[in-house]
Amino acid sequence: MPLKNDHYTYRVSWSEADKEYVGLCAEFNSLSWLSDTPESALKGVRNIVAEVVTDMKQHGEDVPQPIAVKNYSGKFTVRVPPEVHRSIAIQAAESGVSINRLVSYRLSR
């Protein structure tokens, strides 16, 4: 049975290797569920996540927080080689935008 107020991030896709649909949960990347329909793959992975969360709580383990309820600042640091930094700076200058604007635009595409 799925969790009450389940806010975890799920995805269902076709697995060519397994010839079935696979249900995945981003917060529990080691869990998956294979099934012949996308709906049952989603149901299966939601059920296994519920079982794992229940087990973790019973054993006093920290349960992952759903991505959907986390607060994000909109800032993160990325380290790149100096030559990449220079290239991005040149591209930004030639486009008349900041490095931040250029990289943000490219990441959002």
Is 91 found in the same domain as 46? Answer: no
Question: How many structural domains comprise the chain?
Answer: 2
Contacts by residues 13-16 (CB-CB < 8 Å, ≥ 24 positions apart)? none
The verdict on 79 and 45 lying in the same domain is no
Q: Do 25 and 43 fall within a single domain?
A: yes
**Enclosing H/E stretch for 14:** strand 10-15
Q: Measuring CA to CA, which residue among 33, 34, 25 is closest to residue 53? A: 25
- Asked if residue 90 belongs to a domain, the reply is yes
In a domain, 2, yes or no: no
| % of residues, the chain, pLDDT over 70 | 100
pLDDT 10s digits, 33-68:
999 999 999 999 999 999 999 999 999 999 999 999
Which residues, including other chains, have CB under 8 Å from residue 43's CB and lie 6 or more apart? 2, 23, 35
Q: Which domain holds residue 51?
A: 10-67
